[in-house]
């Protein structure tokens, strides 16, 4: 029997301006409802800032470290984060649209209640991140690690995971119907029977999830 082909996933890329205002320092007063557009930030730090309902559009962050930053309920659209440290950033209840996270550190990031659409994540580290009650539509995740993360009650729609790790990740209540997890590490994943119904897994993964169905594997056979 031929292995089922991965479903083609079409993601709309960020619509970036042809030219940017280049910045080596982040000098914006990032406050509630502020708007940042058409800029590129390189090799700088953004620290001790919290903003609600801000709009960030057509922006590139390259090698930027975010420390004690909260972008809560914000609109993040047509943005690229590359080689950035977003550890412990608070993006809760934000909308992230046509955005890429490339080679980013997202340890402990608060992604709860977030709305992701047309988002690419490649080579990202998201251990201990919180994505509870979030919606991910048209998400492509490649070679990422979200071990010990929490995606309980999240919804994944028309998304794809490739060669990523979800070891000991909590996904109880998540909607995984139609998701292909067969190339991922899901050892110790926290799910219920109804959560994995309709998901595609490998034979080895099926053995590790057998306990959900009350099955006992006879290893002496």
pLDDT in tens, the chain (221 residues): 344 455 678 899 999 999 988 888 887 777 888 899 999 999 999 999 999 999 999 999 999 999 999 999 999 999 999 999 999 999 999 999 999 999 999 999 999 999 999 999 999 999 999 999 999 999 999 999 999 999 999 999 999 999 999 999 999 999 888 888 899 999 888 888 888 888 888 887 877 776 665 545 555 55
Instruction: Provide the pLDDT for residue 197.
Output: 82
Token code pair at residue 200: 């595609």
Q: How many CA atoms lie within 13 A of 27 on its CB side?
A: 5
> Cα–Cα distances in Å, from 13 out to 16, 90, 133?
9, 24, 25
Instruction: Provide the pLDDT for residue 1.
Output: 35
Q: At which residue do the structure tokens 């440290």 appear?
A: 85
Instruction: Provide the pLDDT for residue 105.
Output: 98
Helix (H/G/I), strand (E/B), else coil: 182: coil
CB 186 within 8 A of CB 204: no
DSSP annotation of 212: G
Radius of gyration of the chain (CA): 19
DSSP string, 25-46: S------TT-EEESEEEES-EE
């Amino acid at each position: 029997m031929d292995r089922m082909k991965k479903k083609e996933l079409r993601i709309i890329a960020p619509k970036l301006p042809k030219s940017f205002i280049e910045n080596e320092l982040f000098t914006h007063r990032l406050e509630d409802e502020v708007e940042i557009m058409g800029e590129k930030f390189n090799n700088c730090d953004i620290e001790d800032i919290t903003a609600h309902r801000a709009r960030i559009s057509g922006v590139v962050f390259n090698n930027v470290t975010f420390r004690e930053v909260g972008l809560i309920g914000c609109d993040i659209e047509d943005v690229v984060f590359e080689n950035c440290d977003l550890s412990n950033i608070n993006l809760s209840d934000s909308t992230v649209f046509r955005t890429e996270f490339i080679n980013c550190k997202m340890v402990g990031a608060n992604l709860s209640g977030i709305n992701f659409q047309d988002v690419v994540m490649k080579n990202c580290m998201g251990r201990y991140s919180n994505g509870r009650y979030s919606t991910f539509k048209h998400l492509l995740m490649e070679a990422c690690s979200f071990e010990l993360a929490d995606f309980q009650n999240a919804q994944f729609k028309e998304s794809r995971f490739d060669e990523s790790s979800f070891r000991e990740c909590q996904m109880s209540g998540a909607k995984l119907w139609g998701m292909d997890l067969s190339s991922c590490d899901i050892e110790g994943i926290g799910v219920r029977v109804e959560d994995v119904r309709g998901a595609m897994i490998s034979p080895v993964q099926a053995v590790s999830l057998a306990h959900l169905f009350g099955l006992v594997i006879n290893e002496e056979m």
